[in-house]
């Protein structure tokens, strides 16, 4: 069903630019532009052929003044972004020109588009599904090559295809179950419960794999939190500055120099790492320092990777031992980094692994002052991520949208309930009921079923003109 009214908006960022584009979509688009456009070669039939670019002028039909020299691209329905007639006017980029051209299109009968309305029309008119519409906004917001790669594959239908494929497994079981319910008394071949269970296990494993991929998806989207922790004067800020290749954090020989955490982004092989320099841990009655340390503990708790810095040039202190044990118990990625190896060493790797049975490959040696061992440290950080995050560089389908994750969690719950009902040899109606609930969740992901509330929430995140 095509929507009635014609919409128009400036589709390029507001401000000065080489070019700026006004985009119009709807049944009146061509008519609106024809009234304001004069072709350079005086061609009366200008704008009549689809997927062609026409050069000419935009002229205000009321004052007859030339507004700008432009290129106009015509994309007739259904072969356009929205599946409606779309016309794009490429003007010189500048607010006065673009506002004037937009204004003319509104005077000629278009209405100002709402945020994301072009993409919403693409969805409503069936050109893309909801996961692809969501990928559009993620592409616009993507900060790194890897998250861009992931969202482009979502735009090409990676998530939608996997969800549809799981859906078809469940639809198949469901229709056979319905048949056996309808013809209970008759001699219709029905699936055995074992066969149904086998398909449900297949669906369950595939949903679980998508749910598991969310962790990688979130990391790609938000960046991987790497927290540099340790006692005071261990060399945390020195390492932080070295990783970022700038003097961002203050380094002094005084204990307790860093009072509050500092965060900076580091890009490694197309993946964003959010690096945190933290206040060093020591016993202190100073209010500011204690508050800084409380923040350090909170960061350690929420890190994806902790780097615990231990100065190898001094004997281990109570703080070092406390932190080694605390971080080792956190069940999250951690590297134990012996720093200051350019000085006489008091602590070696063996000593650290003896404390809490830490594996030797998790203990590294560096000198933040002399820039020793830093490349190896970076490689180990990258390795922790690629080893543990399926899909980060394997090309597997990765979900990175919390809406998809929540619906998949719910679908999984119903598939498990259906499987359990099979095991308990429950009646077919019960099994069919749970499967239909799971199907509803999968249908909501791709937008086969949707509510206006969900659509508004998704498209309100878009900018006007997209
Ligand atoms: N010799 C040597 N000195 C280092 C090394 N790394 C850091 N330092 C020195 O150790 C002192 C403390 O360094 P910082 O980087 O400020 O230590 P920090 O862990 O941030 O300290 P707080 O902010 O107080 O918690 C400074 O004088 C650094 O120059 C190293 O690898 N070798
Ligand atoms: Mg510091």
- What kind of fold does domain 223-369 have according to CATH? Rossmann fold (3.40.50)
- Token pair for 305: 């990777």
pLDDT value of position 222: 80
pLDDT mean across residues, the chain = 90
Domain boundaries, the chain: 7-128, 135-218+399-447, 223-369
- Residues, Cβ < 5 Å to ion ligand 2: 236-237, 257-258
Q: What predicted TM-score, i.e. pTM, was given to this entire model?
A: 0.72
Q: Which CATH superfamily includes the segment(s) 135-218+399-447? A: tRNA modification GTPase MnmE domain 2 (1.20.120.430)
pLDDT of residue 394: 54
**Closest-lying ligand 1 atom to the alpha carbon of residue 232:** 25
pLDDT tens, position by position, 412-458: 999 999 999 999 888 888 999 999 999 999 999 999 988 888 888 88
> Is the C-beta atom of 231 inside 6 A of ligand 1?
no
Band (186; pLDDT cuts 50, 70, 90): low
pLDDT tens-digit series, residues 334-373: 999 999 999 999 999 999 999 888 999 999 999 999 999 9
Handedness of CA 175, 181, 186, 189 (dihedral sign): positive
Task: Give residue 219 CA to ligand 2 midpoint distance, Å.
Answer: 26
Residue 316 has pLDDT above 50, yes or no: yes
Average pLDDT value for residue range 242-267: 95
| Structure confidence at residue 393 as a pLDDT band (50, 70, 90) | low
Radius of gyration of the chain (CA): 30
Q: What is the mean pLDDT of residues 119-144?
A: 88
Residue 188: predicted pLDDT: 47
Q: Are 340 and 313 in contact (CB under 8 A)?
A: yes
The percentage of residues in the chain with a pLDDT greater than 70, rounded to a whole number, is 95
Supply the residue whose CA is at minimum distance from atom 30 of ligand 1.
Answer: 340
CATH code, residues 7-128: 3.30.1360.120
């Amino acid at each position: 069903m095509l929507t009635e009214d014609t919409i128009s908006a400036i589709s390029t960022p507001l401000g000065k630019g080489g070019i700026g584009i006004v985009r119009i979509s709807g049944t009146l688009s061509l008519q609106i532009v024809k009234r304001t456009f004069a072709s350079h070669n005086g061609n009366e039939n200008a704008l009549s052929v689809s997927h062609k670019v026409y050069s000419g002028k935009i002229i205000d039909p009321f004052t007859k003044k030339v507004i700008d020299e432009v290129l106009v691209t015509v994309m007739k329905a259904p072969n356009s972004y929205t599946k409606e007639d779309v016309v794009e006017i490429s003007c010189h980029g500048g607010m006065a020109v673009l506002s004037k051209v937009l204004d003319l299109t509104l005077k000629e009968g278009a209405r100002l588009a709402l945020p994301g309305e072009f993409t919403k029309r693409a969805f409503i008119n069936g050109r893309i599904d909801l996961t692809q519409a969501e990928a559009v906004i993620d592409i616009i917001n993507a900060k790194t090559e890897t998250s861009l790669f992931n969202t482009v594959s979502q735009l090409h239908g990676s998530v939608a295809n996997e969800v549809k494929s799981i859906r078809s497994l469940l639809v198949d079981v469901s229709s056979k179950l319905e048949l056996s319910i309808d013809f209970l008394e008759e001699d219709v071949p029905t699936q055995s419960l074992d066969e149904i269970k086998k398909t449900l296990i297949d669906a369950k494993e595939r949903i679980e794999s998508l749910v598991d991929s969310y962790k990688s998806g979130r990391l790609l989207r938000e960046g991987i939190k790497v927290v540099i922790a340790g006692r005071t004067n261990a060399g945390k800020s020195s390492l932080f500055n070295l990783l970022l290749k700038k003097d961002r954090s203050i380094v002094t020989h005084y204990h307790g120099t860093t009072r509050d955490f500092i965060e900076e982004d580091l890009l490694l092989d197309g993946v964003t790492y959010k690096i945190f320099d933290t206040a060093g841990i020591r016993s202190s009655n100073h209010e500011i320092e204690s508050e800084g340390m409380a923040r350090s503990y909170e960061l350690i708790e929420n890190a994806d990777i902790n780097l615990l810095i231990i100065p190898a040039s001094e004997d281990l202190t109570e703080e070092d031992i406390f932190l080694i044990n605390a971080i080792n118990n956190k069940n999250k990625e951690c590297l134990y980094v012996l720093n200051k190896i350019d000085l006489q060493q008091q602590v070696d790797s063996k000593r650290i692994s003896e404390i809490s049975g830490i594996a030797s490959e998790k203990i590294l040696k560096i000198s933040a002052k002399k820039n020793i061992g830093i490349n190896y440290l970076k490689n180990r950080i990258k390795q922790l991520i690629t080893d543990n995050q399926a899909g980060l560089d394997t090309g597997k389908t990765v979900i990175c949208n919390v809406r998809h994750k929540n619906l998949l969690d719910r679908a999984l719950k119903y598939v498990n309930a259906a499987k359990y009902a099979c095991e308990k040899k429950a009646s077919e109606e019960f099994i069919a009921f749970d499967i239909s609930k799971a199907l509803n969740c999968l249908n909501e992901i791709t937008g086969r079923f949707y509510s206006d509330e969900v659509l508004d929430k998704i498209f309100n995140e878009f900018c006007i003109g997209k």
